[in-house]
Structure 1
């Protein structure tokens, strides 16, 4: 019985590893006869795994969708939380990306339809930055509203908080009417979540900080998505200085005008930085950190001339580093 149980678990692992297996190859991998393979497949079906037969020369098997969620015992919220966590797992360990992808695929294959739909509402694109810092948390209700609108291809109506976290009322400074957009992608970049969407009225593309989105009511009218490539997402998020960033809550905050285009600096700026367009060849960069010398060192990575450096603590750090490097 122990050998049989181990073989069935091995069969399940093989079915999860590939989209489809020829019956003869699968039996050979398990070291059993075709008849024993058929019995093991029936056992998996009895346990709630939707193993489907594949027609054709020799026949075969594949693991279908819509089964139970064994062997882990998870409630609905836990299953969706794991799917979301797998998508946002930081790539700090070499070679982990493939394992994360396989784990997410395995989880979704055994999810019931209702849970699979909920997890797919959180489909997102993770774009990696060399300097990632955790930022403002995003509410689950907001993520669900945005993700559902993307998945169902319906417009999203929302207010957008100010950098101070408020939504100005009519007549107050900074008031703006609710936005109505066609949501296309959730993107994680440098520790922040962004929504890439197209304004329903102007047809312009915009990038919005998800932690500042306040959804208004259910999703609206259906729309036809516009295909976006990885280059499009890079242009709209990574290289976009107008993505609504504000400086992170660090003790040291310094800024300088950099003799580089804003789009280039925005791509390589550390997480928690702010890039402001000045002209075609210059931008204003604000960097935060745990020490003035650390902030100065990050500015140095851009290998460009700096002007109008503020505050005095950052200027002193540049002088200290210049003297130290000269002596070195």
Structure 2
């Protein structure tokens, strides 16, 4: 590749990496003079890249958003990430499967042969998680509307399916869009109920226009992922389960911790670990611990020991009632 072309690609990569670049710093990174940087910027502008010059003591450049999409620049890792993301779009529930396929084909056509071959070799089969309730599809335009309200910090009104048809629209201050268990949710402050709420996006019908801007409130805990996990577990925090017990499992800690969720796992040896776990009921907690398929020593409390005895009797009856021909 000619030296000038290679330098143009490196310059474009630098401009994509951060918002503002002082001209002197760009010249230093490219090992050229500021005059050469100015000429290279003019060449990129001729190719359709909207690069703005910034004023100030140092002067600099900024890659802006244009009305047309110029040629894209991907390194190997970015190409792989893009291919994986677009091929697994079917599992997002965002109703963008066909659009994602077309986007991947479009991007593939403008990739260099080296990257195109690498992307073609990467075939991912996206399988949606099956459960008792199918994951509902959401309207991509609704996602765009909600996301715009979150970004602009504008009050959002919407009708909510399943609520009283005569009820007025919900008035909220939207804060985050999240996915959980194959579904999309809006985390928002409900102005009429004066509390945090989570709303299923597939049930939301936004009202336009949006309302006035607001100053965001602090989300409990400060972390949206923890807030959602705690909200759907029914607990205000990881240690607020009504039933909490401690056992020793004859399994390596590394194996147990991968499936322990918010439980505490402490290594006691190569094949033993201490597990502190919570649940809504003692039988439920005993059943959760039993799924690790390991010998169990109950440390406490006595309610957990009683729950194991209760399940043992239930399972024994189930074994006795089993059809001998299928045993």
Q: Structure 2 length normalisation: TM-score?
A: 0.50
Q: Does the aligned pair in 1 maintain the 2:155–2:171 contact within 8 Å?
A: no
Alignment-derived partner of residue 136 in structure 1: 135
- d(CA) in 1 for partners of 2:227, 2:315: 36
Instruction: Tell me, in whole angstroms, the C-alpha distance in 2 between the residues paired with 1:12 and 1:136.
Output: 41
Secondary structure in 2 matching 1:13: helix
Supply the distance in 2 between the matched residues of 1:308 and 1:259 (Cα, whole angstroms): 12
TM-score (norm 1): 0.50
Which of 171, 177, 180 is matched with 1:180 structurally? 171
In the aligned structure 1, how far is the partner of 2:312 from the partner of 2:71? 57
Which residue of structure 2 aligns with residue 240 of structure 1?
A: 231
Relative contact order: is structure 1 or structure 2 higher (C-alpha 8 Å, sep ≥ 6)? 1
Partner of 1:259: 244
Would the alpha carbon gap of residues 33 and 142 (structure 1) be closer, same or farther in structure 2, given more than 3 Å must change? Answer: closer
Alpha carbons of structure 1 residues 259 and 293: separation in structure 2 relative to 1, 3 Å: closer
Displacement, 1:283?
1.9
8 Å Cα contact 2:142/2:206 also seen in 1: no
Residue in structure 2 matched with residue 157 of structure 1 by the alignment: 158
Alignment of 1:30-109 (within 5 A): 30-66=30-66, 68-72=68-72
| Structure 1 residue 182: Cα displacement | 2.4
Aligned with 2:187: secondary structure? strand
Change (3 A) 1:216 1:242: farther
Tell me whether 1:208 sits opposite 2:209 in the alignment.
Answer: no
Shift of 1:72: 4.3
- Which residue pairs with 2:212 in the alignment? 222
Distance 1:315 1:47, change over 3 A: farther
* CA offsets 1:5-40 (integer angstroms, 9 cap, x no match): 222111111222233333233223323333322211
SS across alignment from 1:231: coil
Please tell me whether the aligned partners of residues 50 and 64 of structure 1 are also in contact (alpha carbons under 8 angstroms).
Answer: yes
Partner of 1:199: 190
Residues 55-87 of structure 1 deviation map (CA, whole Å, 9 limit, x = unaligned): 3445333323446322149xxxxxxxx7xx59x
- Cα deviation for residue 222 of structure 1 reads 2.2
Unaligned runs of 5+ in 1: 74-81, 90-131, 161-166, 244-256, 261-265, 270-280, 321-328
Match of 2:100 in 1: none
Using the alignment, how far apart are the partners of 1:304 and 1:56 within structure 2?
68
Match of 2:280 among 276, 280, 283: 283
- Specify whether residues 314 and 40 from structure 1 end up closer, same or farther in structure 2 by C-alpha distance, changes over 3 A only: farther
Aligned residues of 1:196 and 1:207 also touching (Cα < 8 A): yes
Q: Is 2:262 aligned against 1:268?
A: yes
TM-align CA RMSD: 5.0
Deviations 1:291-316 (A, max 9, x none): x999722999xx9764768x979964
**Partners of 1:32 and 1:194 in 2: CA distance:** 50
Cα drift, residue 215 of structure 1: 1.2
How has the CA–CA distance of structure 1 residues 189 and 314 changed in structure 2, closer, same or farther, with 3 Å as cutoff?
farther
Change (3 A) 1:295 1:148: farther
Corresponding residue to 2:291 among 296, 303, 310: 296
